Structure 1
Amino acid sequence: MGQSQTKVAGGIAGGGSGGGSDPPPCGYGAGSQASSSSNQPCPVDLGPSTSSSSSSSSSQAPPAVYNVYNQRIDAQGKQQKSEAEKRKESNFRSIWNFGWGGGSGAIDSKNNMPLEANQQPSVGQLKPLSVDREPSTIPKGGTESTWTYPSPQMFFNALNRKGKADGVDEEDMENVIFFHNGMNERTWEMVKRWEALHHAEYDEKNQPKLSRFLGRPHDLSPMARVRSLFYGDVPFDRHDWYVDRNGEEVRYVIDFYFDEEKAGTMEAFEVQARPALDSFTSCLDRVKMNIYVTCAQYGLPCPISGQPGHIGKEGANAGER
């Protein structure tokens, strides 16, 4: 899926903070029902919902569909591309078509990324790499399918294109892909935990989907900036994920950290995921999640459902700001 900067140091490892198997707060994922003291289910329970869901109007326009480069690829999006954008793409073509661009070598002017997935060997590549791509479990917005992860060859090409391939050998790529995919799956689980706060807006046929995402490795989020002041560590990558919440696009900020002291272990990677503070609803979600997580950490009942609280590391991570 995303082609982010990769850490390879003394053996590569993956995972996020919160890989524990302890049950999350308020019976999340266990399908537990609200206690008799409340008519509402716990807002962080992804089990069968007892609330009525809001349905979108049949007259709504079909949702937009994006590729891994944050480019809109549905019919309406293609019609909106201007002649000026097409001219800009042709201007970049000669710059990037050195074995890294792939396909026609055309570049999208919006993000300077190839329009077509590149499965061709990079310049100077010593050994062949697999071009097989694994499907994710992350639903893709505007479709009935899921996102597909990049192949080892695609990822290696992306590292070369971005100048991040120093110290990375072809032999590393299978492990890089394995842990890259694992981090994305864990991130989606964290996003679903936040989206469970809006369970009443979904039903079994209408669940959260990832519409698109954008890599922002050089942009520190506010939380990352504050954390760097107190602890000195900065994320090695950042993504913005845009989630389709029953027709509404909601932005999430994802920070990826790497602990050099834990290189070679499953705890080497830490993932921080939370809704961006660009709406009142997202701000309120941050407050709610901190309350639920705090109650669960101290064994207090859920404020909404009255269920006994219990939380593991991943649940605690979901409530961090």
Structure 2
Amino acid sequence: MRDDAATLTPAPGHDLVLTADAIVAGVHYFPEDPPASIARKALGVNLSDIAAKGAVPRGFLLTLALPEDWTEAWLAGFAEGLGAASASFGCPLLGGDTVRAAGPALIGVTAIGEVPTGGIVRRRTARIGDRICVSGTIGDAALGLQLRLSPEAGWARGLDPESEAHLLDRYLHPQPRLRLAPALRRFATAAMDVSDGLAGDLARMLAGEGRSAVVDAARVPLSPAAARALEREPALLDTALTGGDDYEILCTVPEADLDAFRREAATAGVPVAAIGTVVAGGEPPAFETERGRRVFAAGAFSHF
């Protein structure tokens, strides 16, 4: 950083999209996590919001508040991880500030994206009859967190090493779905990223305007690792549907455009699954499961 501020001009015919999110040690990540992984998470969770708006990243600002026990080795690892994530996501660091924290470490990122003028995909514009879609797989990060918190649980002890590694990695390293942005702009009526659990975020997406949803829980995509965990402990389905940190894309698409959306997403290398339908009503979304219809309380998820 060679000046006190940076300038950024959008390309002709484009709008800037801005989002800010912070992660705090002991709340959003474990203090003992590798600093490079913490850096990747701090940037990744913000770029997940950029992707959900149908935007492409242009740059970010960083506020780093360090606790009294910070070390040069930790900071070097953080900087290395941040540089690698910045290069991988195509999102350069534009500036920021480093200060001393009175408590735990806090990492704040303001991410800036770009979208064709008027092309931003809003969160609360779903229409009755739209199909509800999600990218990737759901529940991995929440199960990875449970592995960290309760490694001696029966279901956890029975996982094979590959499944355990997958779930732990999905919690530690969010994967913003930036390649899905063009398809969202073209086909989605509404979109957001899944950060606080599928059930809670879907409820927030549809709140008001006389909209609800019916979701077929069997169609919610699970990774092989998550499926193995649920085979050992079926009650973990609730964890998968309500747990946070998926950072997948939740969107709604008109029925007539669903196949085209799937094809474009597949071409971009991002799997998407249709899991339900937006319906008229004022009640929270209902999930059809083998145990019957379930309604989950919105906002039930909280970080550890």
Q: Greater RCO between the two (CA within 8 Å, min separation 6)? A: 1
Q: Which is richer in strand? A: 2
Q: Which is richer in helix? A: 2
Which structure has the larger Rg?
1
Give the TM-score of the pair, scaled to structure 2. 0.25
Give the TM-score of the pair, scaled to structure 1. 0.24
